[in-house]
Amino acid sequence: MRTVLTIAGSDSGAGAGIQADLKSIAANGAYGLTVLTSVTAQNTRAVTAAYSLPADLIEAQFAAVFSDFTPDAVKSGMLADRERVEVVAAAIRRYHPPHYVLDPVMVSKSGFPLLQQQAIEALRVDLLPLAEVVTPNIHEAQILAEMTIATLEDARIAATRILEQGPRAVVLKGGHLEERPGTDLLLYASGSRVYEGEFIETTDTHGTGCTFSAALATQLAHGRDLEDAVGIAKAYLTEAIRHAPGLGGGAGPTDHFFYLRERDAAAPWLATLGVIAEETE
């Protein structure tokens, strides 16, 4: 079984962060490993508190994982501040994972800052050059590229500016694109690809960036080439959004295991569990 390490914060509502990553990794067919960077108190409405874990504890988690496992891919999400960015960058350089997907998490859906302002420059300098692919949404790309993005051509210019900062590829997610919303752009040194997407009118988009980047890292771990991995991750996320369970009173989570509930797909397996339980009684 392939293994994928996620480096992220905890979401007590379990729609984003480390919880969403683990579900996305498992749903895409791999075993998830974790390095926790912070703990947040949040639900679908708001992030009410956040605590960054000590750097030495984060380093100890990396050492524990890499001393016993060999991750086929790594992704990072919420890193909170400069110190956490630098610790993660040092670990990526030390352990040299075969794939590293950087999700530059900056602000929660409710507007809570998840990356301090002074950490943005550290992310540019220390992490972007290490990334095989970085996956900003429109808001994050506008910060990294220092420009406004409204059209697909704007997205291409912004992705080019981000690519010049060191990553080998950029997936600029177009869920908030004014022109052709739902269209994503992949840009890398030797080419580009536009992924036309279905825009689903819904508020249930909590953790979509985490879910997408974790799915992308998992597909890369399976040996997919980048273009195919992006396409599969996008298709997976679209269906997870479509089948959102409607939980909470704010920006609700997606359904990471939607396919288990399609046409009672899980029923035969659950029935088998019932038989086992009867036999052991």
Q: Per residue in 211-233, pLDDT tens?
A: 999 999 999 999 999 999 999 99
102 within some domain: yes
Contact 1, 10 (CB under 8 A): no
- 111 as an active site residue: the answer is no
Number of structural domains the chain divides into: 1
Q: Kindly state whether residue 236 falls inside one of the protein's structural domains.
A: yes
Q: Kindly state whether residue 272 falls inside one of the protein's structural domains.
A: no
User: CATH code at 133?
Assistant: 3.40.1190.20
For helices 208-221 and 226-242, give the axis angle rounded to 10 degrees.
Answer: 140
Catalytic, out of 32, 209, 238, 254: 209
Q: Is 173 a catalytic residue?
A: yes
Q: Which one is catalytic: 44, 135, 205, 211?
A: 205
How far, in Å, are 13, 138, 271, 278 from residue 105 at the CA level?
Answer: 17, 12, 41, 47
pLDDT in tens, 85-111: 999 999 999 999 999 999 998 866 655
Active-site residue flag, 203: no
- In a domain? residue 204: yes
Given a cut of 70, the residues of the chain with pLDDT beneath it are 107-114, 263, 266, 274-281
Residue 205 falls in the annotated catalytic set? yes
Q: Is the dihedral of CA 210, 215, 221, 224 positive or negative?
A: negative
Quick check: is 109 catalytic? no
Does the residue 266 lie in any domain?
no
In this structure, is residue 263 part of a structural domain?
A: no
Per DSSP, 269 falls in state H
In a domain, 270, yes or no: no
Answer yes or no: is 269 within a domain.
no
The verdict on whether 274 is a catalytic residue reads no
Domain span holding position 131: 3-256
Q: Among the options 32, 135, 175, 210, which is catalytic?
A: 210
217 within 8 A of 101, measured Cβ to Cβ = yes
Catalytic residue (one of 40, 208, 218, 254): 208
Selecting among 173, 211, 238, 252, the annotated active-site residue is 173
